[in-house]
Amino acid sequence: MTDRSRTVPPPPGDPRHGRRYLYTNYHCRCPLCTEANRIGCAEAKARRHQRTLAPDDPRHGHFSTYSNWGCRCKPCTDAQTERCKPYQRKWYRLNRVEINEKQRERRAVRRELAADDPRHGTSAGYHYWGCRCDACRGFSSAENKANYQRRKANGQSD
């Protein structure tokens, strides 16, 4: 058995370039082989997504089933969500300064909204622009009440 880490890709100009096996077996990273591998991976993913998994399939409940098979059942979605949480937290920590600057900019704009601004009395006026006038506060209150009633009717009450 040969050690694949020591196999050398064929020289440039070799007619075998542009095939996926050179990318995977010979670690060739020329543009032709890289493109062939990208297309091959995309086709394989499309084939996996076309097939559906049976509800009792043991692959359910894993993040790889969500990403590789395109399964959007509750266990697979939950597994993907749990997998992404550390990355989301890390992203927030890394971008916290920029996020805070954007929030400060938004708050500065909030103070500059004119009284006759059409954004008053809307969800965006209350939530995004932070307007606390009676019209925006009333809209938000009505919106929250409607959402609560909808969740309660669907059995999703807190």
Domain boundaries, the chain: 1-51
Q: Give the model's pLDDT for residue 49.
A: 74
When the pLDDT of each residue in the chain is averaged and rounded to a whole number, the result is 82
Whether 132 shows a pLDDT value over 80: the answer reads no
pLDDT tens digits, 59-115 = 889 888 888 888 888 999 999 999 998 888 888 888 888 888 887 787 766 665 677
Q: Give the model's pLDDT for residue 43.
A: 92
Name the residue among 36, 28, 31, 32 with its Cα closest to residue 8: 28
Q: Give the model's pLDDT for residue 1.
A: 47
Question: Which of the given ranges, 16-25, 30-39, 67-76, has the highest pLDDT on average?
Answer: 30-39
What residues contact 77, with CB distance under 8 A and at least 6 apart?
66
Query: 92-98, long-range: CB within 8 Å, 24+ apart, which pairs?
Result: none
Number of H helices, E strands in the chain: 6, 0
